[in-house]
Structure 1
Amino acid sequence: MAHLKHLTALALTSLLASMANGAPLIVDSFESGDMSATNGDGFDWHPNNRTSVVTAERVVYNNGEKDVAIPSGRDWDPKHGEHSLRFRYGAGDHMAEQRFNLGGDYEDIWFQYWVKVPINYSHGQSSPNNHKFFALWMDGYSYKGEGPTVAWEFWGASDGSSRLAFHYSEGSSTIMGGHQGRADFISVPDDRGRWMEITIHAKASSNGQSNDGVIELWRRWENESPSQRMLMHQKTDAVLPIPTQGPQGWHAGYFMGWANAAYAKDTEWLVDYITISTEPLLDSGNIAISNVAPNPPTLSIDN
């Protein structure tokens, strides 16, 4: 019994130490088999919008609907554990999106997650051909908010490849401005079926309309080490004011979303092992990056 008490004390000490060292707000690899991940601040996944939790063989969750066998010719192998989140764009369809609510409001926020390029990926050719990739806002998306919005979108080339760019709104109920930093993102056919790690950092302006807001994105492929992350976008002089009313920081967002140029064939993306933190996620010693078990469980940690 004394030995068990000693182990419990050690576990508690370890947990408190990890929290003191800036543990993530939440880590979700969907190992619960559903969208139930939360934390003390009330993180919440919105209902599935043409998304579902899958294993390599089956759909196991879609707003409560479970146990659907994988269609032939698909590749749902996860990056971590046994589950991932699938985004299904049917041929000719434009939408697959997963929204979330952070629960709390954060002036400085980091996201890190893995994305699998569809095995049959080819960017649509109609115009306009920009596709949503990731968005983050405070009190309302784009012109719907007094606070700012930051979003990434990818644009197509004639060979089916894509380039990634970002744009943002400075708030005051204005639309997001022109796209910046278009950079090579997906090469067809070479990158089909590959997993990439995405790291995003967004920091609000320090005071009102001060131009010290930060927008950053890094990418690395699964065969690259953390030290090989490529900084694709970096803007450190953005005006990203916290609204005078409502959330006092970044509060909500979405993964993927509307595809202006619909895919010619059924096209399925996978997203896995999502880490959200108020601390930087670029340190190769971070638990969310390198020191993970081969099959990590869903974690819900209140920072």
Structure 2
Amino acid sequence: MAHLKHLTALAFASLLASTANGEPLIIESFESGDMSATNAAGFDWSRNNRTSIVTSEAVVYNNGDRDVAIPSGRDWDPKHGEHSLRFRYAAGSNMSEQRFNLGGAYENLWLQYWVRVPINYYHGQSSPNNHKFLSIWMDGYSQHGEGATVVWEFWGTSDGSSRLAVSFNEGEAGGKEGHQQHHDFISPADQGRWMEITIHLKASSDTYTRDGIIEMWRRWENEPASEREQFHKRTDVLLSKPSSGPQGWNAGYFMGWANSPYSRSTEWLIDHITVSEESLLDSAGLKAGLSGNAPNPPVLSVSK
């Protein structure tokens, strides 16, 4: 059955490209109901790879418009608005991943988004048990690029909990540093909770200077922004730019390969993604005008 998309001022905000006055490069809350969000630099979502846009009631987009009712026993309530991006790991399956291209290349990059712990979360118990969480690179992922790559992965424990660590490839001018700064991340007791992730990456000033920055913070829903907990901090790393191609952070993917498959179908939700060249640490998590406190915007309805 055809569904009705509501293109609101909120959805339009996901297409913003202005960096003037510290405005974000893009804010994406999936309120367009598809993967069309872009900006002047050419931000672009890749095809859905076991991901889909959902409302609390249905799948509405998966490489094309859909109208598939939510199965019983699921919970797709978004963090913000009416939509979120679902990552589905079928029982025994290793993959669910959403790639993106930032369009431009940014030496100093901030990324902030909300992610919900699956309602039945329990880390897989086979070995190896590391799962991808977030990866960002310049001209190519890991050894496929001349520039640097940074990867966050979470590792399982015997009680179904997970610890988050970061690793990075310095680029062709350097080497690779393995997983480090392991930090307690989530447990089965956190099932269904939303958390805000904030990432800061700064490329090295030149090919050989170890002044690159990797930082990551987490706070749970209902915790004040002032209480974000920093999991990872390195300010002395080599994150070299390629000799040609994107001169900064250019692409990445959310979630990805899970080495230790979940024993039951497991679904993550991601919502309200903000990308900026300016610090997002003063953000309350939802930008002004997108928090629900602003006057209701006019609504344009488009039949599909």
TM-score when normalising by structure 1 = 0.88
CA distance in 1 between counterparts of 2:148 and 2:116 reads 29
Bigger strand share: 2
Q: Show CA shifts across 1:148-193 (max 9, x none).
A: 10000000000000000000001118774310000000022x2000
- The answer to whether structure 1 residue 108 and structure 2 residue 108 are counterparts is yes
Q: Show CA shifts across 1:73-95 (max 9, x none).
A: 00100000000000000000000
CA distance in 2 between counterparts of 1:229 and 1:49 reads 31
**Paired residues of 2:225 and 2:285 also in contact (CA < 8 A):** no
Q: Which amino acid aligns with 1:270?
A: L
Corresponding residue for residue 15 of structure 2: none
Q: Which amino acid aligns with 1:262?
A: P
Q: Show CA shifts across 1:99-134 (max 9, x none).
A: 000000100000000000000000000000000000
**Paired residues of 1:242 and 1:249 also in contact (CA < 8 A):** yes
The SS at the match of 1:143 is helix
Corresponding residue for residue 152 of structure 1: 152
Give runs of aligned pairs for residues 143-292 of structure 1, distance below 5 A: 143-172=143-172, 176-188=176-188, 190-284=189-283, 288=287, 292=290
**Paired residues of 2:121 and 2:187 also in contact (CA < 8 A):** no
Q: Would the alpha carbon gap of residues 220 and 147 (structure 1) be closer, same or farther in structure 2, given more than 3 Å must change? A: same
**Paired residues of 1:145 and 1:173 also in contact (CA < 8 A):** no
CA distance in 1 between counterparts of 2:277 and 2:218 reads 19
Deviation at 1:295, TM superposition (A): 8.6
Q: Would the alpha carbon gap of residues 175 and 49 (structure 1) be closer, same or farther in structure 2, given more than 3 Å must change? A: farther
CA distance in 2 between counterparts of 1:28 and 1:291 reads 13
TM-score when normalising by structure 2 = 0.88
Deviation at 1:21, TM superposition (A): 1.8
- The answer to whether structure 1 residue 75 and structure 2 residue 75 are counterparts is yes
Corresponding residue for residue 291 of structure 2: 293
CA distance in 2 between counterparts of 1:141 and 1:163 reads 23
Q: Any unmatched runs of 5+ in structure 1?
A: 1-17, 298-303
Q: Any unmatched runs of 5+ in structure 2?
A: 1-17, 298-304
Q: Which amino acid aligns with 1:258?
A: W
Q: Would the alpha carbon gap of residues 270 and 102 (structure 1) be closer, same or farther in structure 2, given more than 3 Å must change? A: same
Deviation at 1:294, TM superposition (A): 2.0
- Displacement over 6 Å in runs of 4+: none
Deviation at 1:208, TM superposition (A): 1.6
Q: Which amino acid aligns with 1:136?
A: I
Q: How many residues align?
A: 278
Q: Show CA shifts across 1:232-262 (max 9, x none).
A: 0000001001111111111100000000000
Corresponding residue for residue 95 of structure 1: 95
CA distance in 1 between counterparts of 2:244 and 2:177 reads 23
